[in-house]
Structure 1
Amino acid sequence: MSWTDYYRRRDALDAVLELARHDLEGPLPFPEQAAAEFADRGELLLALHYRWSVRLTGRVGLAQAEAEKDATIDPVEAVAQAWRATAAEHPVLRRVLDANTDTHGGVLRPAIEGEQRMLAIASGLAEHTEPAEEIARVGAAYLALIRSTPSRERHRGNRVEQFLRRLVASA
């Protein structure tokens, strides 16, 4: 793919999301600009999911790095916050993906299972040595929990205060 191809595809994805922003309840837009770059709506959905994955993976990587540097940061919560922040920053993209998960022959299913596995492993809820189906199952449950639980702000007090909060929470 040349840079020209990349920019045309990027612009087509931007156009689709702009159209979707104006009609949040409508079907997946497929303007001429998108039709010129993607064979069908399934291919378009895969490209949109790839865009989501790039953004999510970046945030999750930062969350993991923070959790590794600071033992007071819970990796499960850090990854959840990364997912929520990405969804908040890209609400139309998230809505389009959610609305089309089971459409177009389930073309997104493998990509979604990959995302679920990534979340499960990044949060420490699963190990890469476990069966892929099990990791995806854990990731699906974790993602359902992320979506249904309100965001908790990280409290950064001094280390003694953080330790006492953890003791109280575990009692």
Structure 2
Amino acid sequence: MSWADFYRRRDALDAVLELARHNPEGPLPFPVQAAAEFADQGEALLALHYRWTVRLTGRVGMAQAEAERDPGIDPVDAVAQAWRATAAEFPVLRRVLDSNADNFGGVLRQAVESEQRMLALAAGLADITEPADEITRVGAAYLALVRTAPSRDRHKVNRVEQFLRRLVHSA
């Protein structure tokens, strides 16, 4: 793919999201610009999910690094906050993906399962040696909690909890 191709595809996805901004829960818009770059709506949806994944993995990586540096930060909370922050920064993209997840022959199924595994592993809720379907199941449950549980500021942990975490970390 040349840079010109990259920019055309980027602009086509931007056009999809701009149209979706008016009704993100509605059918996936597929303007002429997108039709020129993608074979069908399913391919465009996969490209949108890739855009989401790039942004999410960057934030999750930062959260993991921060949690590794500071034993007072719970990796489960850090990864949850990273997901929520990404969803808050890109609300139309997230809502378009959610509303179209089961459309177009389930084209997003593998991508969503991969995201669930990444979240479970990053949060430390699963180990890479476990079967993929088990990691996916844990990740799906975790993501459901992330979406529904109230956000907790990961930096506002009480002093006793911080002390106990340091003891456990040093053991």
TM-score of the superposition, structure 1-length normalised? Answer: 0.92
**Structure 1 partner of 2:70:** 70
- Could you tell me how far apart the structure 1 residues matched to 2:121 and 2:35 are? 36
Q: Per the alignment, in what secondary structure is the counterpart of residue 86 of structure 1?
A: helix
- Could you tell me how far apart the structure 2 residues matched to 1:84 and 1:131 are? 27
**Structure 1 partner of 2:169:** none
1:26-37 alignment, distance < 5 Å: 26-37=26-37
| Residues 156 and 162, structure 1, Cα contact 8 Å, conserved in 2 | no
Supply the RMSD in Å over aligned alpha carbons: 2.0
| Residues 79 and 123, structure 2, Cα contact 8 Å, conserved in 1 | yes
Q: Percent of counterpart pairs with the same letter? A: 80
- Could you tell me how far apart the structure 2 residues matched to 1:72 and 1:152 are? 14
Q: Which runs of 5+ in 1 are unaligned?
A: 167-171
* Deviation of 1:2 (Å): 0.2
The question of 1:126 aligning with 2:129 is answered no
What stretches of structure 1 move > 4 A for 4+ residues in a row?
Answer: 156-161
**Structure 2 partner of 1:169:** none
Decide whether aligned partners of structure 1 residues 114 and 12 sit closer, same or farther in structure 2, where only a CA change above 3 A counts. same
Which letter maps to 1:45?
L
1:44-70 alpha-carbon deviations (Å, 9 max, x no partner): 010000000000000000000000000
The question of 1:8 aligning with 2:8 is answered yes
TM-score of the superposition, structure 2-length normalised? Answer: 0.92
**Structure 2 partner of 1:45:** 45
**Structure 1 partner of 2:104:** 104
* Deviation of 1:161 (Å): 7.5
1:113-153 alpha-carbon deviations (Å, 9 max, x no partner): 00000000000000111100000000000000000101111
Structure scoring higher RCO (CA < 8 A, sep ≥ 6) equals 2
* Deviation of 1:163 (Å): 2.8
Q: Which runs of 5+ in 2 are unaligned?
A: 167-171
Which letter maps to 2:110?
P
| Residues 72 and 157, structure 2, Cα contact 8 Å, conserved in 1 | no
* Deviation of 1:82 (Å): 0.2
- Could you tell me how far apart the structure 1 residues matched to 2:157 and 2:49 are? 37
